[in-house]
Every structure is written in structure tokens, then in C-alpha cells.
């Protein structure tokens, strides 16, 4: 059965900074999208996390207020799926409000959601310079590790996958 209705979702958000070349990731291929008053042509440029979640170029987040409108056919068998704005930026959360901020360039080990990435669900690569003698053994302990998987590389060569206790 063809959907007989249209669902329009309107999102507004604020940004302290201009963010170039952001993408919208979503599953609904039949959508129409407007970003800051401009209708966006939905040409797939890749996918995010799952090949069903396609990415589309939105343009730039502007400093100040921004508006995203997504409209698509809606019927009894339509699922309202999650959507994601992807780009090089951080987010500061205060209560139920959030603000786009400058990108996070340094992360400590631990909870990324408290370090400017409250909604991030992807991978993170830590670059940690280590100087050692020209010979000998190097042992790495990751005692506070609480993620599903960690890969250790040395001089661009994968050395160890860490996934099970005692880490």
C-alpha cells in the first residue's frame, strides 16, 4: 500500500562556529530535505555505520541558528528512523539544550560523551608517541579499558587486538 500522507520533521539547532561540508545520514530515500532554507539534492555519497543509512551532502552549518526540515511519504508501514548530522565539530550539552562547537582535537581515555562528543558512536584513533630503547620489550597495560575492542599498533603495524579481560 502506498503511503497516503507526508510526515515533516523540523529540527533547529545553534552553532558557535561555521562547520564546512556536513552530511546528513538517514535511511529514507524518498525524503525531501531543506537545510537553512535551501532544498538539498539527495545524491548518495556513501553510508554511515550500516549500508542502509546513506549519506548526503548538506552544505555548511552556519554560526547562529540552523534549521533542517525532512519530509517523506508516511503510511501504516512507514518507520521513522534515526538521522545523523555528520561533520568535524563538537557538541556542548547543557540540560536539554545542545550547541555545536569547535571540533574536539584531544581526547582522554574514558567517556567521550563527556569530552565534547555526546552523540558520537564511531571509532576513535588515539595517537600516543612512545620512545623506547632500540632493543628490548615493550609492555602496554590498558587497565581502565571499557570499550568493545582496542587495536594496538606500533610503527603503523598492528601488534595486538585487546578485547577480553584482563585487557
Residue 115 CB neighbours (<10 A): 14
Residue 66 CB neighbours (<10 A): 20
Q: Cell for 161?
A: 587486538
Q: Which pLDDT belongs to residue 96?
A: 87
Inter-residue contact 101 to 89 (CB < 8 Å)? yes
Query: Which residue, 160, 166, 127, is CA-closest to 146?
Result: 166
How many whole angstroms separate alpha carbon 77 and alpha carbon 111?
A: 37
Bridge partners of 161, per DSSP, are 151
Tell me the per-residue pLDDT of 64-106, one tens digit each, with 9 for 90 and over. 999 999 999 999 888 899 999 999 999 999 888 899 999 988 8
Amino acid at each position: 500500500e502506498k503511503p497516503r500522507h507526508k510526515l515533516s520533521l523540523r529540527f533547529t539547532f545553534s552553532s558557535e562556529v561555521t562547520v564546512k561540508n556536513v552530511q546528513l545520514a538517514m535511511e529514507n530515500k524518498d525524503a525531501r530535505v531543506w537545510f537553512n532554507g535551501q532544498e538539498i539534492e539527495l545524491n548518495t555519497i556513501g553510508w554511515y555505520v550500516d549500508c542502509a543509512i546513506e549519506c548526503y551532502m548538506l552544505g555548511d552549518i552556519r554560526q547562529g541558528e540552523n534549521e533542517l526540515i525532512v519530509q517523506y511519504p508516511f503510511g501504516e508501514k512507514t518507520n521513522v528512523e534515526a538521522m545523523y548530522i555528520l561533520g568535524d565539530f563538537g557538541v556542548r550539552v547543557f540540560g536539554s539544550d545542545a550547541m555545536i562547537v569547535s571540533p574536539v582535537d584531544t581526547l582522554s581515555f574514558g567517556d567521550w560523551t563527556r569530552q565534547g562528543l555526546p552523540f558520537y558512536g564511531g571509532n576513535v584513533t588515539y595517537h600516543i608517541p612512545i620512545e623506547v630503547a632500540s632493543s628490548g620489550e615493550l609492555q602496554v597495560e590498558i587497565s581502565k579499558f571499557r570499550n568493545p575492542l582496542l587495536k594496538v599498533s606500533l610503527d603503523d603495524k598492528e601488534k595486538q587486538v585487546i578485547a577480553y579481560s584482563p585487557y
